[in-house]
Amino acid sequence: MEVQQIPIGQIKPSPMNPRKTFDEVELQELADSIKHQGLLQPITVRPSEFYDEVIDGEIVSTPTNYEIVCGERRYRALLINAAGDENYPVLSIVRDLTDDEAFDAMVTENLQRIDVDPVEEAFAFEQLQKRGSTIEEIAVRFGKSTRFVVDRIKLDNLIPELLIKVKDGRII
């Protein structure tokens, strides 16, 4: 694990991130806070693309791009502050993680929030189950009942029209 300043243009959101909803007003508020106080907690990234070069007769792979593991909301706020500057520095913790390890970290970070979207939570629980976790393991890990986890996973299988109503808060 290493902490680095990485140009924002080399950082990309992860398509695996179960969180898909970001409130624009809250992002602007976070951007304003970061502008005045700085980034208080680095984002976590993992190398995603490399180029190879020969150094002292050995082939060395150097990262050229990074994928966000934790901190996409902070990243989006920093994008606002960067105002198109691809070299805008982002304090980042760089970790070498497999896809499974990265997904696990993303799910854990997102499900520990207070305002978890039930549809995103359902998707995350179902993905954890597909990756080999049992209902019981998921329940213990996130401090939920097994019934709650089962019900959330069922939610992920609703027809799209109902999912939209749940996401919009019209059905609870």
CA 41 to each of CA 3, 16, 28, 73: distance values in angstroms, whole numbers, following the listed order: 11, 22, 17, 12
Q: What is the dihedral of CA 140, 143, 144, 145, to 10 degrees?
A: 50
Quick check: is 29 catalytic? Answer: no
Question: How does DSSP assign 78-106, residue by residue?
Answer: HHHHHTT-TT-EEEEEE----HHHHHHHH
CA atoms of 51 and 62, how far apart (whole Å): 5
Q: Is the distance from CB of 55 to CB of 2 less than 8 angstroms? A: no
> Which entry of 72, 109, 120, 121 is annotated as an active-site residue?
72
Question: How does DSSP assign 155-166, residue by residue?
Answer: HTTS-HHHHHHH
Q: What is the dihedral of CA 60, 72, 108, 40, to 10 degrees?
A: 90
Q: Hey, what amino acid is at 169?
A: G
- Residues serving a catalytic function are 72
